[in-house]
């Protein structure tokens, strides 16, 4: 699914056949009413719900339960990629955009390597925001 997305969108991203380290990002899924939000942030940072709500001008926001993430996206919660999830608003933390390329674990032994610019371009509803503390 992810490999097909990369190929069909002619991205320079690539799947590495191992669990990589360095410049790692995490992705977490949130929900507010019918709006689904994918937060992309540095793995060593902590996400701020208040900053997420502020960036989207929302009154409330809940993190999607791990068990519901796979049903909603087709991906396991711990291995959500920052691309190839349709119908979500993507917020990329400014700390991610400082890097030339970032890595995201997408399986036990698989890592997506991608530029932050491609994350923004490959998602229809994507923007940068300060979402960590």
Neighbours of 16 (CB within 10 A): 14
* Mean pLDDT for all residues in the chain: 96
The predicted-structure confidence for 11-31, as pLDDT tens digits, reads as follows 999 999 999 988 899 999 999
What is the arithmetic mean of pLDDT over 110-129? 96
Question: Which domains are present in the chain?
Answer: 2-129 (3.90.960.10)
What is the arithmetic mean of pLDDT over 66-87? 95
The predicted-structure confidence for 98-117, as pLDDT tens digits, reads as follows 999 999 999 999 999 999 99
Report pLDDT for 23: 87
What is the arithmetic mean of pLDDT over 72-95? 96
């Amino acid at each position: 699914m992810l490999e097909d997305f990369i190929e069909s969108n002619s991205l320079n991203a690539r799947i590495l056949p191992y669990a990589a380290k360095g410049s790692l990002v995490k992705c977490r899924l949130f929900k507010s009413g019918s709006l689904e939000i994918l937060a992309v942030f540095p793995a060593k940072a902590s996400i701020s719900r208040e900053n997420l709500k502020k960036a989207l001008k929302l009154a409330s926001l809940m993190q999607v339960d791990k068990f519901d993430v796979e049903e909603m996206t087709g991906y396991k919660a711990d291995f959500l990629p920052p691309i190839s999830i349709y119908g979500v608003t993507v917020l990329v933390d400014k700390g991610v955009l400082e890097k030339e390329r970032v890595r995201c674990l997408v399986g036990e032994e698989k890592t997506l390597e991608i530029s932050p610019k491609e994350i923004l371009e490959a998602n229809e509803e994507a923007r940068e925001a300060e979402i960590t503390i």
